[in-house]
Structure 1
Amino acid sequence: MNGPYDTVVVGGGQAGLAAAFHLRRAGLDFAVLDAQEQPGGAWGHMWDSLHLFSPAAYSSLPGRPMPVQPGQPYPEAAHAVRYLAEYEQRYDLPVRRPVTVGAVHRDGDLLRVESDSGSWFARTVISATGTWWRPFWPAVPGREIFTGRQLHTTGYRSPKDFADQRAVVVGGGNSGAQIAADLALAASAHGIEPTWATRRPPRFLPDDIDGRALFDAATARRRALEAGREDTGGVAALGDVVAVPPVRDARDRGLLEPRPMFTRLEPNGPVWSDGSRTAADAVIWATGFRPALAHLAPLSLRGTRGHIATEGTRALDEPRLHLLGYGDWTGPASATLIGVGRPARDAVREITALLG
């Protein structure tokens, strides 16, 4: 029998590690179950050119600043992976991997976490599985008959994979802009013909805005709502796309010119609202993600938009469960390195009070 523990954390990415740091400081008995074979969470699955939105100083988990990456004002994803691996070791966090959790059940006074390595019993559970593992594919007419390659953000790695191809990128957020920029900047070298399609004109944030400012905006929104003041709009009020250096470069060179979203796909490519057609070899869907919460289905907690009703990180209908790192609904900027520390601390504080 595994446990019973005070807490089992499901997910060993940045949110799970932030929770583990505070659980360690609180002196609780806990285990972290991570489905990945290596440390780093989703960062180990990003595309080759990805950079963080913030300098290293503003991309840190609680307790240990991220070291600066020489020559990179915005660290690469691989640098974040190394940082998370070193973070685990520094604090001797009890991460068990690979352990895939399939379900969480109520079991009397305990919660039973079912996994491919057996059952784990805990007095409380922190779910920190993020969103990367549940990509959203939009219901675009004709998607099933398109004969070219289709992949989501999760499957994109490098422009080299699209050499001598006509590639359409769909999505006006950060991922869409970064992948479109990646292809555009490499187009002449690799014979790529890129097209960028967005549902609305992308809104680029001012060039001096990075992750630190986004965290401040999310925090200010939370404080305004808690105080009953007018909603500031948070990050969404600033724009959709952070102008990291490659995006800025492609934009300033006139290489990022999006087209309005096409109306449907045909076997050979998109059809636009004016009836024109674009031949395509591949469509890259940078269309976002949904919370990966299937393991919590036995608890019957799902509400509107797939979210579980929470107060802070605590599930309203199951006070032994906390959700961490899924976005603003589980803490301002909680899906970011810099933003997850505070809600992790608050979650552990509530857990400690509950356990007495």
Structure 2
Amino acid sequence: MTRTCQVVVTGGGQAGLAAGYHLRRQGLDFVILDAEAAPGGSWQHMWDSLHLFSPAQYSSLPGRLMPAQPGETYPGAGHVVDYLADYEKRYDLPVQHGTHVQAVRRDGDRLMVEADSGTWRARAVISATGTWSRPFLPAVPGRSVFAGRQLHTVNYRCPADFAGQRVIVVGGGNSGAQIAADLAIDGRAKVTWVTQRPPRFLPNDIDGRALFDVATARRRALDAGRDDTGGVASLGDIVAVSPVRAARDAGLLTAMPMFTRLTTDGVRWADGSGADADTVIWCTGFRPALSHLAPLDLRGPRGRIPTNGTCALGEPRLHLLGYGDWTGPASATLIGVGRTARDAVREVTGLLA
């Protein structure tokens, strides 16, 4: 079955919902196709102890402030899921959950969006599929021979799952630090934290509000042709949220350098030393989930699609939203995606006019 509309949004997480809000305000005919069975995007799959970097009022999508979570300055992931579900309902956004988009193709003056529930013909597509469904695992020697468990950030839930185990946590970003801290504070697993370079903690008073301002200032400088300020990366890699600070200050969060290989029963460093392990948790990031756009043949360096703002350079009917700073300052965050979604929808509206 083939249906038509003006705009198809692929992905119904925070970026897709922000786009939907602005599309609704413009009075456009649109649909949001979301692979998740329920509202909440990737937030419904986060680990139990995860909290936002910013207070609720600074973690909101356009048009609707996130209510505070009782007893919490920084809301937990479950609170975010409830907020996104309420947001979707409040603005009566036409989200079709459990719908997997397989391909986007050109079809004359339209783009064909092929999903497992049928095909849509649209005049524009906003891709907002994020990165959570595409975890990255580095090509480390010995990864195939390690006899223990290997997990990614997406598989981690709580320390109780690792009681009595020797766990290697790999990754010097926020996920690696938070999961290592979660396990170390719990104390039921023996934890070794491994990073590619010495971890860089941001000052204790830096949270998501400041990070958004820094990312925005960098984008404005670049757009104006001024020198690159370095953005968030110039400040550090790890936000010192409360559990991370507690583990660090207690001496439980000391990083080892990256090992050179895995063995059947653990890891080995370049100097010949090693550590036995039952589980390795790879907190090594994600890649943009863009396989549905492959038929458009737009990929550039590093697997990204070159854009001007959010608009794909090789296909002006396609906008990419929420994949990181290359599709808008802080656009992969709750606080940052609203402004970029507004700009993308403004361009789409101009295209349709």
* Distance across 1 between alignment mates of 2:2 and 2:216: 38
Provide the residue aligned with 1:27 in structure 2. Answer: 27
Specify the SS of the correspondent of 2:203.
coil
Specify the SS of the correspondent of 2:336.
coil
2:263 is aligned with 1:266: yes
Provide the residue aligned with 2:250 in structure 1. Answer: 253
Partner amino acid, structure 2, of 1:195: T
CA deviations on 1:119-150 (whole Å, 9 max, x unpaired) are 11111000000000000000000000000000
* Distance across 1 between alignment mates of 2:226 and 2:107: 42
Provide the residue aligned with 2:45 in structure 1. Answer: 45
Q: 319-328 or 271-280: which moved more? A: 271-280
* Distance across 2 between alignment mates of 1:347 and 1:223: 17
Provide the residue aligned with 1:308 in structure 2. Answer: 305
Provide the residue aligned with 1:223 in structure 2. Answer: 220
Provide the residue aligned with 2:75 in structure 1. Answer: 75
Partner amino acid, structure 1, of 2:290: L
Partner amino acid, structure 1, of 2:229: T
Specify the SS of the correspondent of 2:32.
strand
Aligned ranges 1:98-117 → 2 under 5 Å: 98-117=98-117
Provide the residue aligned with 1:145 in structure 2. Answer: 145
CA deviations on 1:146-172 (whole Å, 9 max, x unpaired) are 000000000000110101000000000
Partner amino acid, structure 1, of 2:224: A
Partner amino acid, structure 1, of 2:24: R
Provide the residue aligned with 1:167 in structure 2. Answer: 167
* Distance across 2 between alignment mates of 1:224 and 1:160: 46
Residue 228 of structure 1 and its aligned partner are, at CA, apart by 1.2
Provide the residue aligned with 2:289 in structure 1. Answer: 292
Give the superposed CA RMSD: 0.6
Provide the residue aligned with 1:87 in structure 2. Answer: 87
* Distance across 1 between alignment mates of 2:283 and 2:197: 14
State TM-score, norm by structure 2.
0.99
Partner amino acid, structure 2, of 1:70: P
Provide the residue aligned with 2:338 in structure 1. Answer: 341
2:123 is aligned with 1:123: yes
Partner amino acid, structure 2, of 1:224: A
Residue 229 of structure 1 and its aligned partner are, at CA, apart by 1.0
* Distance across 2 between alignment mates of 1:18 and 1:85: 13
Specify the SS of the correspondent of 2:322.
coil
Partner amino acid, structure 1, of 2:153: T
* Distance across 2 between alignment mates of 1:10 and 1:2: 16
Partner amino acid, structure 1, of 2:92: D
* Distance across 1 between alignment mates of 2:284 and 2:342: 31
The unaligned stretches of length 5 or more in structure 2 are: none
Residue 277 of structure 1 and its aligned partner are, at CA, apart by 1.3
Partner amino acid, structure 1, of 2:152: H
Residue 3 of structure 1 and its aligned partner are, at CA, apart by 3.1
2:180 is aligned with 1:183: no
Specify the SS of the correspondent of 2:274.
coil
* Distance across 1 between alignment mates of 2:113 and 2:312: 16
Specify the SS of the correspondent of 2:330.
coil
Provide the residue aligned with 2:320 in structure 1. Answer: 323
Partner amino acid, structure 2, of 1:296: L
* Distance across 1 between alignment mates of 2:29 and 2:261: 53
* Distance across 1 between alignment mates of 2:313 and 2:157: 39
* Distance across 2 between alignment mates of 1:99 and 1:67: 29
Residue 230 of structure 1 and its aligned partner are, at CA, apart by 0.9
Residue 226 of structure 1 and its aligned partner are, at CA, apart by 1.1
Question: Identity of paired residues, percent?
Answer: 73
* Distance across 2 between alignment mates of 1:201 and 1:255: 15
2:6 is aligned with 1:6: yes
Specify the SS of the correspondent of 2:71.
coil
* Distance across 2 between alignment mates of 1:237 and 1:120: 43
Partner amino acid, structure 2, of 1:200: R
CA deviations on 1:62-84 (whole Å, 9 max, x unpaired) are 00010000111110000000000
Residue 2 of structure 1 and its aligned partner are, at CA, apart by 4.4
* Distance across 2 between alignment mates of 1:277 and 1:268: 10
* Distance across 2 between alignment mates of 1:43 and 1:169: 21
